[in-house]
Chains A and B, each alone.
Chain A
Amino acid sequence: MSNIHLHYEVSGEDFTRAGEASGSVKKRLKALGYNTDAIRRVAIAMYEAEINMVIHAEGGFVDVDIFPDHVEVLLSDKGPGIPDVEKAMQEGFSTAPDNVRNLGFGAGMGLPNIKKYTDDMRIETEIGKGTDLYLTVKVKEA
């Protein structure tokens, strides 16, 4: 099987739509017959990252490449960048505004969760320019 490329634009204006891209990727992987555990890990990691994009960076785009044995996801935004990546990786550390907490996010679990569910995670960030988040999840075909 050759790799499949998917591209999504994530709107930063509508919080209620955050997660649409992740849901769509999940559906696609299911149709391709990947195992449930791997699909869930991709979906959760991508969903947290999509939420981050909407909360912090007014949206961006997502590129997904599906290979037989792994999935690569790039989430790219032109947001404010992450001043201290190490701090952002700590469970419970959050810079999200209160209105986001009222929506059930902003508990400082986003990046730690993403790291937990992926096999590889790389952050390229520049203050005032934006953030690129590269995720890799290894999968086995069911």
Chain B
Amino acid sequence: MVVKDIIDILEGEVICEGNLDAEIKTACGSDMMSDVLAFVKDQSVLLTGLVNPQVVRTAEMMDMACIVFVRGKMPDQGIIDLAEQRDITLIKTRYRMFTACGKLYEGGLSGGTAV
């Protein structure tokens, strides 16, 4: 799956455009950034309901190419600027966390192995 597919599946709106052809292999859905940081997988997308700059910094440390804000949440300009500098795509979807994760899972994305 690539970032573009995620936008299609989640009927998402692109808030900040990075590389839309970046390959995405796994997904992680969480509002706790430390839980995200405990999960290391290559080429992941982060789904979150948390809207603050640390979401982008967490994605940066994890080499994530894309962040999805669920439930229609809109990041502010400071967050968008941070993502732009780091070439990270920001998407917002009107779906809630559970549904957004479910749709991506159905679309073929895995959450990786259980701990």
With A40-B40, A44-B37, A110-B34: A104-B54 Cβ-Cβ less than 8 Å = yes
Q: Does B61 contact A (CB under 8 A)?
A: yes
On whether the beta carbons of A19 and B61 are closer than 8 Å, the reply is yes
Task: Give the residues in chain A near B87, CB-CB below 8 Å.
Answer: none
Residues of B within 8 A of A106 (CB): 34
Task: Give complex CA distance A116, B38 in Å.
Answer: 8
A48 CB–B CB distance under 8 Å:
yes
The answer to whether B61 and A104 have CB atoms under 8 Å apart is no
**Which residue in A15, A22, A51, A107 is a CB contact (below 8 Å) of B35?**
A107
Residues from chain A with Cβ under 8 Å of B32 in the complex: 104-105, 107, 109
Q: How far is the CA of A40 from the CA of B50 in the complex (A)?
A: 22
Whether B62 pairs with A103 at a CB distance below 8 angstroms is no
Q: Is there a chain B Cβ closer than 8 Å to A36's Cβ?
A: yes
Cβ-defined contact, B35 with A109, below 8 A: yes
- What sequence of 0s and 1s flags, for each residue 27-47 of chain A, a beta carbon within 8 Å of any chain B beta carbon? 000000000100010011001
B54–A40 CB distance below 8 A: no
Asked whether any CB of chain B lies closer than 8 Å to the CB of A113, the reply is yes
Alpha-carbon separation in the docked complex, A103 to B32 (Å): 8
Known pairs A40-B61, A104-B55, A109-B35 / 9 extra A-B pairs, C-beta < 8 Å: A18-B57, A19-B54, A19-B57, A22-B57, A22-B61, A23-B60, A104-B48, A105-B54, A106-B34
Query: Does A26 belong to the interface (CB within 8 Å)?
Result: yes
Number of A-B residue pairs having CB atoms within 8 Å of each other in the complex: 70
Interface size bucket, A side? 20 to 34
- Please state if B54 and A113 are interface contacts (CB–CB under 8 Å): no
Cβ-neighbour of B57 out of A23, A108, A113 (below 8 A): A23
Q: Which of A22, A43, A104, A109 has the most B CB atoms < 10 Å from its CB? A: A104
Closest residue of chain A to B55, judged by CB?
A104
- Judging by beta carbons under 8 Å apart, are A48 and B53 in contact? no
Size bracket of the B interface: 20 to 34
Query: Do A48 and B78 have beta carbons less than 8 Å apart?
Result: no
Q: What's the minimum C-beta distance from A116 to chain B, rounded to whole angstroms? A: 7
The residues of B that contact A103 with a CB separation of less than 8 Å are: 50, 52, 54
Docked Cα-Cα span, A123 to B63, in Å, equals 28
Contacts A/B (CB < 8 Å), 11 sampled: A19-B57, A26-B60, A44-B61, A47-B58, A47-B61, A48-B34, A103-B54, A104-B55, A107-B35, A109-B34, A109-B38
User: Does A2 belong to the interface (CB within 8 Å)?
Assistant: no
The reply to whether A36 and B34 contact each other, CB–CB distance below 8 Å, is: no
